[in-house]
Structure 1
Amino acid sequence: MPNYKISKSLFLRGLQCHKSLWLYKHKPEERRKPDASLQATFNAGTEVGQLAQGLFPGGVEIDFDHRNFNGMAKRTAELIEQGCNTIYEATFIRDGILVLVDILHKSRDGWQLFEVKSTASVKDYQILDTSIQWYVVSHHLPLTKAAVVHIDIDYVRKGELDLQKLFHVADITDSVLPLQSQIPAQLQQMHTVVNHEDQPDIEIGDHCLSPFECDFSDYCWRSVPQDSVFNLYRMNWNQRWELFNDGIKSIAEIPEDYTLTDTQQIQRTVLRSGEPYIDKAVITDFLEQLQYPIAYLDFETFSEPVPRFDGQRPFQNIPFQFSLHIEDRTGRITHHEFLADENSYPVHDFAEALLAKLPEQGTILAWNMGFEKGIVRSVASGVSQFQQQLENLKPRFMDLLQPFQKKGYYHPAMHGSFSIKSVLPALFPNDPELNYKSLSVQDGSMAMTIYAGLHKIADPAERQSIRDSLLVYCKLDTLAMVKILQFLRKL
């Protein structure tokens, strides 16, 4: 047997990139640690996996022991020998590859394996994942079916969780079987790679980003310049790779005769000059459309695969927080905020607080307003009491992103992005008051993750501390818009 076992996750890593597989064994210190959002995804997967066991009740779970996978496999074999028909985390080893099957079940038709995923549909990588399980398990047992158990996004919770409606079981046997003949050669290549002393000579490419962004990308991309062609605004990836592989790695190096959009040409110009690009006519046109009082508005939302509240759907974007700065005609600014109780469905309270705090007239200013308008539309459809009032808000929205996207202002430090997290530090590089990186909560995905897990925290002081951090973060989002608009007015 090869001297290094490959798990099914490492098998998928190897299919994506042999270099990533080699680095995982030989240079694990270069691996980027999962952030809070990714860790939350892992945790959600564990929760969903445990819930899915309820589809096949009465089974036995193999206790996880990372020091003794052989013992886990032995215990699995014993349970099968004893006539156990349902095993959770059933463990098998073949040809140096280790798999843990989420649910192994023996029906009247024979043994079946079920891979549980906290996604809304079957993904290609999940078929590959299940195919390696079939390869290993079929060496020990005759299998009749392979399926992915995933979340059904049409489910709406009413009362107790209904597992039969929450989950959809997708039979993928016909997709898994044709892949079996390829696996021995793939495994042999991977064993050769991981047991070799030299790092594979593999250049960066599409495989770094698909089907997942590789957690060794910081290591492999360390020589890519900060203003690389990968930052070209709305250029398709094939063109970016074509430029990069032709030796044109920085935007500033792109030849004059290369076809670029207007925005991409501006990017090249400002990188060569080091000076921002300004079109005052675009900015003036935007400013003249604003009506007082100006309401600077930002929402935070969360979603989760398993709905906790009546009326909630899996992965539904649910607003739980807003920050609101209001500027009157004299320039006086006031601030209002709302953060929902983490133990109740927040939509009604959110709508009520929003309507109570928003002025009855004037511009509602958001950044990338499609998100906020979409949430308003969603809340209006779900809270009939406030439906018309919420619908009346939509025509008042304006997007502070607009003067930047329409080429009114571009700074080289924006690096091809018009997100507020890119624009703000470009305009105010040395203002500690406007530094997201100094906050405990630094972006929307972190806010979503933290709030979604807040109800699990028992300590009231810790819970309040987290709530305070969420308020500080969301307040900065709207304060940032206040400062950015002031900046545009001064140009």
Structure 2
Amino acid sequence: MLWLKINKPEEEIINDFDKATMEKGTEVGKIAQKYFNNAVDVTILTNNKPNLLKMIENTQNEITKGSTVICEASFEYDDLFCSVDILKKEKNGWAIYEVKSSTYDTKVDKKVELYFEDIAFQKYILKKRGINITNTYLMQINKDYVFDGNLNIHKLFVVSDVTEKVLKVEEDIFYNLNEAKQIFNQKQEPNVDLSINCDSPYKCGFWKYCSNHLPSPSVFDIYNLYFKNKINFYKNDLISYTDLKNSNVITNKIQLRQIDYYLNNKKTYVNKTKINEFLDTLTYPLYFLDFETVMPIVPKYVGSKPYDQIPFQYSLHYIEKKGGKLKHKEFLAKTGEDPREALAKQLCEDIPKNVCVLAYYKSFECSRIKELAKQFPLLKDHLLNIESNIKDLIIPFKNGYYYNKAMGGSFSIKSVLPAIFPNDPKLNYDNLQQVQNGTDAMTVFSNLEKMNPTDQKIARNNLLEYCKLDTYAMVKIWQEL
């Protein structure tokens, strides 16, 4: 990956969710600076990009001036560069504070081990520059922090002393850096095969580039198959659908159907009996519900925690009787306000008790409604009644009652809809403006307060159109069944 990042950066694909995560990470880093008194940020931007030389110069100036807390402290040694999130003066030296937007957990997994390596790398460069590092710390989000209306920075973060853990990986840094330099200086692309590292602890952005030699579809497109199993099959030359069929290693009925329908160019599998059994569980009036949510790392609303899913919008299509007209209702929170109570009240007004509600992957909607019921006791009875009557439209697809080969290995609504209606522009999310997926909706809603009135009006309309398509898509899928 290192060679590709240097020599073919254009091949890296960073999805919208990862971009949003990186932006949130930057936000958390800025907030973490308030944890310390007299913090000085040495960041300098030139054309919206960090000016590394200026930042190195600023860091040295702040050390000379006697600053005790330097944020984004930057150093260079032997063509290596690092920026320390927070460098704090201690009695006999300096302490490194590495800030992460992840939540604190006592369990140390592969991702946390990478944090230790990052810190050890910084420590190596700083020591080479004559900076004595006495302690190293990891700052992470406290997942149990409850916002009471006033942000408490010291409760928001958990600060862990990782000095000993960093020492354990420190001795490997020199050898890892030498290896990295060799890769850096290679003119020819290294021959590295696909492995479990492509997906763990993070999915690599160069996956599409590195896997372009695979047939399409391949073992990596099989539904509900663990990545480690896909890699094992790949390593044993079980790559194409033909390989998998001939080897008899696939035994799951839905996976076998996926292979069979592709190899034999079959169009659609329909188990009418099972589908009718599912449809018989639905009654009129019939409602189709979809939520959109935001997940603030730093909680904004009283009673919420970091990364809580906060519903701010819903779309509701409904049909009151068999053969009745399709109607629509919707809710989108006012900009800048806590959306939860207004949304919960409106939902109770829009959906009567004891009616059938359809959602796609209902556990999401059910969880949000249960959370609202806990937050607003006066609405609890009505909300829990709605939740108890929600049916899941994904069942016919997830359970294999309906399959179209165009779905490939995914039964998400974004895969099922175009497979059933491939030529309907009204059902194409790509034709929407500004908001085409849940991550877009989350980002746009979060940025509404920063927009001027004209842009805000356009953005709100785009949010409504996106959420409306989600429930209209459910209606069309139900009608197809």
Instruction: Give the TM-score band, short-chain normalised.
Output: over 0.9
* Structure-1 separation of matches of 2:236 and 2:444: 43
1:63 matched to 2:14? The reply is no
Residue equivalent to 1:11 = none
1:124 matched to 2:113? The reply is yes
**Displacement of 1:40:** 2.5
CA spacing shift, 1:23–1:239, aligned 2, 3 Å:
same
Asked whether the 8 Å contact 2:93–2:131 carries over to 1, the reply is no
Which of the numbers 439, 446, 449 marks the counterpart of 1:445?
439
CA spacing shift, 1:261–1:113, aligned 2, 3 Å:
same
Alignment of 1:83-482 (within 5 A): 83-108=66-91, 110-121=93-104, 123-139=112-128, 140-256=130-246, 257-275=248-266, 276-331=268-323, 332-440=325-433, 441-457=435-451, 459-482=452-475
SS state at 1:285 partner: helix
**Displacement of 1:95:** 3.0
RMSD: 1.8
Asked whether the 8 Å contact 1:295–1:359 carries over to 2, the reply is no
* Structure-2 separation of matches of 1:289 and 1:63: 59
Alignment of 1:8-27 (within 5 A): 20-27=1-8
Residue equivalent to 2:61 = 78
Residue equivalent to 1:4 = none
Asked whether the 8 Å contact 1:252–1:269 carries over to 2, the reply is no
Structure 2: tracts of 5 or more residues without a match: 106-111
Asked whether the 8 Å contact 2:245–2:259 carries over to 1, the reply is no
Asked whether the 8 Å contact 1:414–1:422 carries over to 2, the reply is yes
**Displacement of 1:239:** 2.2
* Structure-2 separation of matches of 1:472 and 1:101: 43
Asked whether the 8 Å contact 1:91–1:100 carries over to 2, the reply is yes
| Residue range with higher mean Cα deviation, 180-189 or 156-165 | 156-165
Aligned AA (2:353): E
* Structure-2 separation of matches of 1:72 and 1:352: 51
**Displacement of 1:71:** 4.4
* Structure-1 separation of matches of 2:303 and 2:398: 37
Asked whether the 8 Å contact 1:303–1:452 carries over to 2, the reply is no
Asked whether the 8 Å contact 1:251–1:267 carries over to 2, the reply is no
Asked whether the 8 Å contact 2:99–2:139 carries over to 1, the reply is yes
* Structure-2 separation of matches of 1:91 and 1:359: 59
* Structure-1 separation of matches of 2:456 and 2:50: 36
Asked whether the 8 Å contact 2:75–2:83 carries over to 1, the reply is yes
Asked whether the 8 Å contact 1:321–1:339 carries over to 2, the reply is yes
Residue equivalent to 1:28 = 9
Structure 1: tracts of 5 or more residues without a match: 1-19
1:486 matched to 2:469? The reply is no
* Structure-2 separation of matches of 1:396 and 1:225: 44
* Structure-2 separation of matches of 1:185 and 1:195: 16
**Displacement of 1:432:** 0.6
Asked whether the 8 Å contact 1:36–1:449 carries over to 2, the reply is no
Asked whether the 8 Å contact 2:44–2:50 carries over to 1, the reply is no
Asked whether the 8 Å contact 1:293–1:359 carries over to 2, the reply is no
* Structure-2 separation of matches of 1:63 and 1:360: 55
SS state at 2:186 partner: coil
**Displacement of 1:67:** 7.8
* Structure-1 separation of matches of 2:102 and 2:332: 28
* Structure-2 separation of matches of 1:24 and 1:238: 25
Asked whether the 8 Å contact 2:361–2:392 carries over to 1, the reply is yes
**Displacement of 1:195:** 1.2
* Structure-2 separation of matches of 1:70 and 1:453: 32
Aligned AA (1:120): T
When normalised by structure 2's length, the TM-score is 0.93
* Structure-1 separation of matches of 2:404 and 2:335: 39
Q: 1:362-396: CA deviations, max 9, x gaps? A: 31101111111111101100011201111112221
**Displacement of 1:213:** 2.1
| Residue range with higher mean Cα deviation, 330-339 or 426-435 | 330-339
List structure 1 runs of 4+ shifted beyond 4 angstroms: 65-68
Q: 1:140-164: CA deviations, max 9, x gaps? A: 2221211111111211222321111
Residue equivalent to 1:17 = none
Alignment of 1:36-51 (within 5 A): 36-51=16-31
Asked whether the 8 Å contact 2:44–2:54 carries over to 1, the reply is no
CA spacing shift, 1:287–1:71, aligned 2, 3 Å:
closer
Aligned AA (1:106): K
Asked whether the 8 Å contact 2:284–2:322 carries over to 1, the reply is no
* Structure-1 separation of matches of 2:286 and 2:241: 37
SS state at 1:345 partner: coil
